[in-house]
Amino acid sequence: GPAVSDTQEPHAARLIDGKGFAARMTQDIAADVSAFYDRHHITPGLAVVLVGNDPASEVYVRNKALQTHRAGMRSFMHMLPATTSQKELLGLIERLNVDPEIHGILVQLPLPAGLDPVVVTNAIIPEKDVDGLGVVNAGRLALGLPGIVPCTPLGCLLLLHHYVGDMRGRDALVIGASNLVGRPMAELLLREGCTVTVAHIDTRDTASLARQADIVVVATGVRELVRGDWIKPGATVIDVGISRVTLPNGKTRLVGDVKFDEAVKRAGLITPVPGGVGPMTIACLLRNTLDAARILVEGPAR
């Protein structure tokens, strides 16, 4: 380009500090957990079920155990072999459904082949469905009724509220349409008044849709899919993706679905990986579990 532009300070986006935001949320949750204990002598309990092994799920499990403890809640881990039958898994969920020490149940996705995620997630009673994936909570979200909202889209929404504020009339693009992230994210952005587009595997030109968007949320699991030139200057970029890559020196590093070094030069606001959406997912899981415990113990607010 012209010599003059080379002397200018390159624009860099403001970083969205999900890690700090989540840490503050966790402190508030800890205070609420303590007050809940004072009222009822009950500590909210979260059951986490991991079948087989999935790299992103392992990162999640590790951080979740730590944060649950930090919030003063109890965490019950169930690690099952990849050979577990659907019947065995449904039997475990049935026991957790009726266990008075358990207020939230989360089954890690993806499940190994042979286990049906729709059947399994719908076996969780709606009151303990802290991932918000069953038909009752998903339906409530679609209809704009109160219910349990999936943790990752909820975490993204809280960041957007804090850093962007009013989103009415903004063009939002969600890349990825999973039941866990993309679809509920689209519902929430629509509720905020955005004009929402959802791109998925069959979308013809995701790059040009992205170039029009004021807000881009990416959740595909395709590492570094979104390049710098996909981003409209000044746009807000929320990167949900978590992939573990091995470097030439043998160490591993987490990367997102956005090529960060490129996108940071174009965006106005951007989440890093790690330190962005991941910690927010965990804080929202703890919040959902405390809210579930309140409703199970105290009954729905009247």
Binding site listing for NADP(+): 176-178, 201, 242
Sign of CA dihedral 282, 284, 289, 290: positive
Cβ neighbours of residue 200 closer than 8 Å, sequence gap 6 or more: 175, 176, 177, 182
The catalytically annotated residue of 17, 32, 67, 108 is 108
59 binds, among ligand GUE, ligand NDP, none (CB under 5 to 8 A by kind): ligand GUE
Q: At its nearest, how many Å lie between ligand NDP and the CB of residue 198?
A: 9
Q: Which of 68, 137, 152, 289 binds ligand GUE (CB under 6 A)?
A: 152
Residue for token digits 């909820």? 154
222 binds, among ligand NDP, ligand GUE, none (CB under 5 to 8 A by kind): ligand NDP
Q: Is 82 helix (H, G, I), strand (E, B) or coil?
A: coil
Q: At its nearest, how many Å lie between ligand GUE and the CB of residue 195?
A: 27
Q: Is 108 helix (H, G, I), strand (E, B) or coil?
A: coil
Using CB atoms within 10 A of its CB, is residue 56 exposed (0-12), middle (13-18) or buried (19+)? middle
The catalytically annotated residue of 17, 32, 131, 239 is 131
**Is 64 assigned a catalytic role?**
yes
Point out which span in 136-144, 211-219, 225-233, 273-281 binds ligand GUE (CB under 6 A). 273-281
Q: Is residue 89 within 8 Å of residue 124, measured between CB atoms?
A: no
- Residue 84 or 281 having the CB closest to ligand NDP: 281
| Binding of ligand GUE by 109 (CB under 6 A) | yes
| CA proximity to 257, closest of 287, 207, 223, 216 | 223
Residue positions in the annotated binding site?
176-178, 201, 242
- The Cα–Cα gap between 18 and 162 comes to 11
Q: Where in 78-107 is the site for ligand GUE (CB under 6 A)?
A: 106-107
Q: Could you tell me the CA-to-CA distances from 170 to 18, 23, 141, 192 in Å, in that order?
A: 22, 29, 21, 9
- Residue 72 or 279 having the CB closest to ligand GUE: 279
Strands in 236-239's sheet, in edge-to-edge order, are 14-15, 269-270, 236-239, 215-218, 171-175, 195-199
The catalytically annotated residue of 64, 128, 232, 259 is 64
**Is 19 assigned a catalytic role?**
no
274 binds, among ligand GUE, ligand NDP, none (CB under 5 to 8 A by kind): ligand GUE
Q: Is 232 helix (H, G, I), strand (E, B) or coil?
A: coil
| Binding of ligand GUE by 279 (CB under 6 A) | yes
| CA proximity to 289, closest of 42, 24, 13, 4 | 42
Q: Is residue 219 within 8 Å of residue 226, measured between CB atoms?
A: no
13 binds, among ligand GUE, ligand NDP, none (CB under 5 to 8 A by kind): none
**Is 232 assigned a catalytic role?**
no
| Binding of ligand GUE by 197 (CB under 6 A) | no
Q: Which residues bind ligand NDP (CB under 6 A)?
A: 56, 152, 175-178, 180-182, 199-201, 203, 206, 219-222, 225, 240-243, 277-278, 281
| Binding of ligand GUE by 23 (CB under 6 A) | no
Q: Is 105 helix (H, G, I), strand (E, B) or coil?
A: strand
- Give the interface with ligand GUE as residue ranges (CB under 6 A): 56-57, 59-60, 63, 106-109, 131, 151-152, 180, 242, 254, 273-275, 278-279, 281-282
Annotated active-site positions, please? 64, 108, 131
